[in-house]
Amino acid sequence: MLTLACSLFLGFAPPVLAPAWVAQSHAPRPATTAELCIQWGEDLGALDRLFDFPLSEARWQAFEGLFDAWQAKLEAVDFASLDRTGQIDLILLQDDLEHERDQLATERGHADEDGKYLDFAEPLVALLEDRTLRNLPDPELAAQILQAATDRLGEWREEHPAGKEGAEAPSPSQMRRAARTCGRLRRALREWYDFGAEYDPLFTFWCKAPWKGLDGALEKHATYLEKDLGGIDPKDEDRLLGEPIGRERLMAELRHERIAYTPEELIAIAEREFAWCDAARAKAATAMGLDGDWRAAQEQVRALHVAPGQQPVLIRDLADEAVRFLEERDLVTIPDQAKQVWRMEMMSPERQRFSPYFTGGEVISISYPTTEMDQASKMQSMRGNNRHFSRATVHHELIPGHHLQGYMASRWNTQRSRFRTPFLVEGWALYWELRLWDLGFQQSPEDEIGMLFWRSHRCARILFSLNYQLGNWTAEQCVDFLVERVGHDRRNATAEVRRSIQGGYGPLYQVAYMIGGMQLMELQRELVGTGLWTDKNFHDTVLQQGSIPVDLIRDALTEGPLQLRQPVTWRFAE
């Protein structure tokens, strides 16, 4: 090969090659639908972290601008040119965008309702909004704003003495919400103050004393709203206090979850399923020699618990039994690592106030007595997690339930994690309770009572949660219903209701177990029952779709036409 110098000496030059970067000067490719899903979640998260304080008009306007920009972006995509996976991604994104708009409207509505209890807040929020623009405050002016807010807080409490509202008295739940908003504002302002304090001598000089006064006044105000106006004793850890959302918002949530039923229709479905459970419980009780008395049968089964300290052994053995049952019938692919990596932990006594039964996933949290519990709590914990109740649900929490589901969701269609719905998360685990019953997983009448206790409970969750959210039942009536109709111990029934109305769950979460399970049962009948799929192929493919609404999984597995705003029409429980 000639060198450059040699080539020039001989009278000719080699061809001039363009730099590699010149040949790559094309426009960037458009995002895939998977990338759009990820970008959407990141955009929401970034804006939420910037405006991490309440009562902000700038926050609301920023989100509305984001929603409008994303709507235009979605409508610019050639939907018809996408493959089916891409179309499902875009439908999910469109649905989520519309739900976020609804959530923002709800947030603004709550702010309007709470405004008269927080009328001091606007100048303070303006300080926080100014920080989002990376502007440094005028220390002297900021001090005046802090002091004026402190003065207004004192005036407000004098103008609104406890017990003087009469017919205008706010509800305890509204006062708890307003108090928590006050607490969020206080935390955001503390972060605002800490940014300048001691770093900027002039800021510290002006703001240290007024901030200290305002911080204490905000704390006092939150307590006043909750305790004095709301009548909520902060030391009363047993009080059940939630906020029913009403029928209009329930309908909006059902549309978002892609459920083509009204709350009243779901209640009727639950009552029908409950009647089946009652008949099956009576039959099992008769097989136990108790002449159809399912309550007596449950009492016998509750006594069949392991000794303190032995629950982990029971759960390990039940998990192994479920895996063997599935593999012998070749029902679903279970990766060896999935069988290996799940773990156990013990649930704290405090958490057991909300979760009286074990919960699961990659880590199964064992709800069982601790030494500091009183005797009644110890016995109810052991009775509620007896051998046969546990045998009915270990597979719900581990394999083939939540653990296998989570294992697969983290490895397939991960762009869809943003769209996670309890109708698939809980529905998948509940589906296996229904299928295993049909496949004869129960080995005795006692096992049947254990499985039917949970099946009845899933029906009851629909009934009590929807009636509560509709304003038909009080929290206490919900507890009584679980005790009388399902057979819960009162402590466990109270924990279940507390979990539902004040445990951070969405208003349809308790509905999702049975209804999501019924959706999957119907889809299995459509595809496997007609011979189009095998059970194993069906289950593996469902797991690969991610935890998205079941009717969209149905769309993914069938061939019907799709559109960006895919209508919700599937009547799966007819």
% pLDDT > 70, the chain: 93
For 344, phi then psi, to 5°, come to: -120, 145
Residue among 367, 363, 432 nearest 403 (CA): 363
pTM of the model: 0.89
Q: What is the 3-state secondary structure (H, E, C) of 257-292?
A: CCCCCCHHHHHHHHHHHHHHHHHHHHHHHHHCCCCC
Q: Give the pLDDT mean for 38-43.
A: 98
Residue 384, token pair as written in the block: 């509620």
Lowest mean pLDDT across 20-34, 99-113, 139-153, 468-482: 20-34
Q: Give the pLDDT mean for 458-486.
A: 96
**Over 90: is that where the pLDDT of 162 sits?**
no
Q: Give the Cα separation of 403 and 428 in Å (integer).
A: 11
**Over 60: is that where the pLDDT of 437 sits?**
yes
pLDDT category, 351, cuts 50, 70, 90? confident
Residue among 421, 415, 403 nearest 332 (CA): 403
The model's pLDDT over 552-563, given as tens digits with 9 standing for 90+, comes to 999 999 999 999
pLDDT category, 392, cuts 50, 70, 90? confident
Q: Give the pLDDT mean for 162-178.
A: 79
**Over 90: is that where the pLDDT of 204 sits?**
yes
For 345, phi then psi, to 5°, come to: -140, 160
396, 429 contact by CB (below 8 A): yes
pLDDT category, 9, cuts 50, 70, 90? very low
Lowest mean pLDDT across 3-17, 143-157, 448-462: 3-17
pLDDT score of 379: 75
The full set of domain ranges for the chain reads 37-115, 118-162+169-229, 250-557
110, 177 contact by CB (below 8 A): yes
Cα of 266 vs its chain's centroid, Å: 20
Q: Give the pLDDT mean for 143-166.
A: 90
If one counts every other C-beta atom within 10 angstroms of the C-beta of residue 411, the result is: 11
Residue among 366, 442, 437, 416 nearest 547 (CA): 416
107, 57 contact by CB (below 8 A): no
**Over 60: is that where the pLDDT of 125 sits?**
yes
What SS3 state is found at 77?
A: coil
pLDDT category, 63, cuts 50, 70, 90? very high
**What residues contact residue 211 under an 8 Å CB cut-off, 6+ apart?**
146, 189, 193, 197
75, 102 contact by CB (below 8 A): no
The model's pLDDT over 206-250, given as tens digits with 9 standing for 90+, comes to 999 999 999 999 999 999 999 999 998 877 777 888 889 999 999
Q: Give the pLDDT mean for 269-277.
A: 98
**Over 80: is that where the pLDDT of 402 sits?**
yes
Q: Give the Cα separation of 414 and 282 in Å (integer).
A: 45
**Over 90: is that where the pLDDT of 166 sits?**
no
Lowest mean pLDDT across 227-241, 313-327, 397-411, 537-551: 227-241
pLDDT category, 23, cuts 50, 70, 90? low
Amino acid identity at 110: H
Average pLDDT value for the chain: 91
Amino acid identity at 162: A
The residue that leads in pLDDT, 157 or 373, is 157
499, 295 contact by CB (below 8 A): no
Residue 545, token pair as written in the block: 């779709």
The residue that leads in pLDDT, 369 or 347, is 347
Q: Give the Cα separation of 335 and 45 in Å (integer).
A: 33
Q: Which residue has the tokens 């392991």?
A: 306
pLDDT category, 19, cuts 50, 70, 90? low
